[in-house]
Chain A
């Protein structure tokens, strides 16, 4: 197969087409004009014009996370490149595969502080999985395809290709490499058989087992979620999930304990604390998960499956570490489990399951109901019910994105996900402003899906300009703002740790969100009465177009359960609704006697 002569700009488009890319998020500028010109001459690749480059990256993340494909971004040099840094870091921490093309000043001007020049590869080296500065047209075809390989293989992550303008204009021979791969980067895929055998033996002897699953299961593809369900069914082990892993295991399954960690459920955290065998599948013992490290799951043997060898033994020392793709390892693990000489008797952990049921019976997500004011938890519950009814009636799938803060945790706690790739949230970096652009990307990947951004009134303003994008592309996303007029999680921490001195956490001078929606050409709905909520949500779902729903909720509500900073899993604070903690929470943190054990 002979190559074809074309310009660098045309190569970018062609390589994207050859990689099966259908959607590209970007914003034009001087240093990428040749690529935009090449885009103009074709139809198969859809370019989505965002309103800020950060939005382009989050949109690509939403697209990637909800579809399992690589998200693609095109931005210009200088400010275009610096504006994507937050998005790249977000994708790096949450392991989202992205390929971002940044324009660069012509090669002969690099290093001269030229107009809109910045050291893009230098700046992005720390927030990408890998990056390239292409100085010769001869290298471009290989690098373009290599970038997709690196972004999506091993632990996924963002890759930046910095492309000087003269290379975009230069002519060269384009040929698609005969096979995808990389000279030095060859991540492990299958896990070590001996380690898997050791893990299965530990699991077979477990009396208080738990599966602790994370985003790695989702990144490994839908078949990994299927295998996880099969493993849970075969073994009978209860399952808890990180924020990133929600949906890999059905929330409606009776063996699901809910999310674990700082705002995880009582049953999940206590089960993590008291288990004797923990199987960590595609999660990374983040500090929001472990709480106080020296008191983390003190009685357990730990098995850790991760595609990234550096995640194993990074913060928590494990007994069996298996480097490999979650899907591949789960498959081998299931086979090894089924091949055990004697089937472990599931009754051996009956007592454990009974204990978990008593923890579950505490109903840790219960809250004070109200007939006059909308409780944020209630709002998420009603939204979930409405979406579930819609899905049952019409088969329309629901996808949820979030911003960052209390609303994010309530969404994770009260919205139940039964399928993977339905939940897009910024976990590792905690990026306010993620949800709206991510919803745009998700809606583009799933044109028939119902895409909801559960937001806070503070977060949403961080990338509100993307409303314009949603309206331009007729994306019927629904922005459901839990408006408590506070940066709620900041306020909660200030209440807890800083004597309720709410320094700068009040959302002053908020816009009228209904008018704001209308100004963008979208629909605005406001609701402040519990009795009106269901009808208002229905109105939002029935509207065929983007909606901003301003849900006025209880300003003082806090997010529980909560593991206070520096505390262990068995030192959770629960909602005062449960009658344990009637005092100010500021007192609780200083009086260990009031801690729940």
Chain B
């Protein structure tokens, strides 16, 4: 009991001794998918990932590739989580990086399409082997490689679908996974 009292006292002292104001109170956390169009110059990815680590933001998924080779422009798709205020901050912070052309919040734009590609290696024989083929067919996965005791499947889908596929394969004999992270795009005829 005395320990608890001392602990409480200690916490109270700590709260008092800090030079800094208390952290803001907890608000609902949402998941947002951001498309960031950047100049494909050396270090641009480090600027973006450094911004996230330096300011304590989350990255759930980050996908990057040059999309306009002639203009050296890359599209970075970032899935992040945070309160509305944090998401707003993330977008403003990204937007002020010098090589960033623009930042689009695909989640705010409405139902955007999100896909990722995953390679799954499964090993096993007998019943497990046939079962893995059946499940792969059900998920529309392609068989990229087959040996007498293994398969490599390629599956494309939403993050949730891929999670489900991996979950099932884990039971059967999953040995290796490689995922691309999310590529996303808004619906309709409008370009971002």
Interface residue? B100 (CB, 8 A):
yes
Known contacts: A182-B98, A310-B92. The answer to whether A291 contacts B21 by CB under 8 A is yes
Instruction: Flag A274-300 by CB within 8 Å of B: 1 or 0 each.
Output: 000000000000010011111000000
Contacts of B95 in A (CB 8 A): 309-310
Partner of A293, one of B22, B88, B93, B96: B22
Known contacts: A293-B21, A566-B22. The answer to whether A125 contacts B96 by CB under 8 A is no
Interface residue? A185 (CB, 8 A):
yes
Q: Are A125 and B18 in contact (CB under 8 A)?
A: no
Partner of B96, one of A309, A498, A566: A309
Contacts of B89 in A (CB 8 A): 310, 313-314
Instruction: Flag A479-512 by CB within 8 Å of B: 1 or 0 each.
Output: 0000000000000010001100000000000000
Instruction: Flag A307-318 by CB within 8 Å of B: 1 or 0 each.
Output: 011101110010
Q: Are B54 and A290 in contact (CB under 8 A)?
A: no
Instruction: Flag B42-79 by CB within 8 Å of A: 1 or 0 each.
Output: 11001100100010000000000000000000000000
Interface residue? A179 (CB, 8 A):
no
CB distance from B10 to the nearest CB of A (A): 14
Partner of B22, one of A292, A308, A497: A292
Interface residue? B82 (CB, 8 A):
no
Closest chain B residue to A310, Cβ basis = B92
Q: Are A566 and B15 in contact (CB under 8 A)?
A: yes
Report how far A293 CA is from B25 CA in the complex, Å: 10
Known contacts: A287-B21, A291-B21. The answer to whether A121 contacts B99 by CB under 8 A is no
Report how far A589 CA is from B19 CA in the complex, Å: 13
Q: Which of A75-83, A126-134, A238-246 contacts B (4 or more CB under 8 A)?
A: A126-134
Q: Are B99 and A292 in contact (CB under 8 A)?
A: no
The interface residues of chain B, by DSSP majority, are classed as mixed
Known contacts: A122-B46, A309-B92, A309-B95. The answer to whether A566 contacts B100 by CB under 8 A is no
Report how far A133 CA is from B39 CA in the complex, Å: 15
Interface residue? B148 (CB, 8 A):
no
Report how far A566 CA is from B16 CA in the complex, Å: 7
Interface residue? A178 (CB, 8 A):
no
Closest chain A residue to B18, Cβ basis = A565
Contacts of A310 in B (CB 8 A): 89, 92-93, 95-96
Partner of B39, one of A125, A183, A293, A493: A183
Q: Are B43 and A125 in contact (CB under 8 A)?
A: yes
A-B residue pair count with CB separations less than 8 angstroms: 71
Interface residue? A42 (CB, 8 A):
no
Contacts of B24 in A (CB 8 A): 293-294
Partner of B21, one of A121, A133, A292, A498: A292
Segment 458-495 of A: residues with Cβ below 8 Å from B = 493
Known contacts: A129-B98, A184-B101. The answer to whether A566 contacts B18 by CB under 8 A is yes
CB distance from B103 to the nearest CB of A (A): 11
Report how far A150 CA is from B100 CA in the complex, Å: 13
Segment 547-579 of A: residues with Cβ below 8 Å from B = 565-566
CB distance from A234 to the nearest CB of B (A): 31
Q: Are B21 and A566 in contact (CB under 8 A)?
A: yes
CB distance from A373 to the nearest CB of B (A): 30
Known contacts: A154-B96, A293-B24, A310-B89. The answer to whether A497 contacts B17 by CB under 8 A is yes
Partner of A589, one of B16, B85, B99, B100: B16
CB distance from B41 to the nearest CB of A (A): 9
Known contacts: A184-B100, A185-B98, A309-B92. The answer to whether A126 contacts B54 by CB under 8 A is yes
CB distance from A535 to the nearest CB of B (A): 40
Report how far A185 CA is from B98 CA in the complex, Å: 5
Contacts of A312 in B (CB 8 A): 92
Q: Are A565 and B20 in contact (CB under 8 A)?
A: yes
Segment 310-349 of A: residues with Cβ below 8 Å from B = 310, 312-314, 317
Report how far A187 CA is from B98 CA in the complex, Å: 10
Segment 139-158 of A: residues with Cβ below 8 Å from B = 150, 154-155
Contacts of B25 in A (CB 8 A): 294
Contacts of B43 in A (CB 8 A): 121-122, 125, 133
Q: Are B22 and A184 in contact (CB under 8 A)?
A: no
Q: Are A184 and B18 in contact (CB under 8 A)?
A: no
Closest chain A residue to B100, Cβ basis = A184
Closest chain A residue to B24, Cβ basis = A293
Segment 28-44 of B: residues with Cβ below 8 Å from A = 38-39, 42-43
Q: Are A150 and B92 in contact (CB under 8 A)?
A: no
Contacts of B93 in A (CB 8 A): 310
CB distance from B114 to the nearest CB of A (A): 26
Can you list 8 A-B contacts with CB-CB less than 8 angstroms, sorted by A residue number?
Answer: A125-B43, A133-B43, A154-B96, A184-B100, A184-B101, A287-B20, A294-B25, A309-B92
Given contacts A133-B43, A309-B92, A310-B89, 15 further A-B contacts (CB under 8 A): A125-B43, A125-B50, A126-B50, A129-B98, A154-B96, A184-B100, A185-B99, A291-B21, A294-B24, A310-B95, A314-B92, A317-B85, A497-B17, A498-B17, A566-B16
The 3 closest A-B pairs by CB, nearest first: A310-B92, A130-B98, A185-B98
Chain B residues packing against A (C-beta within 8 Å): 15-22, 24-25, 38-39, 42-43, 46-47, 50, 54, 85, 88-89, 92-93, 95-96, 98-101
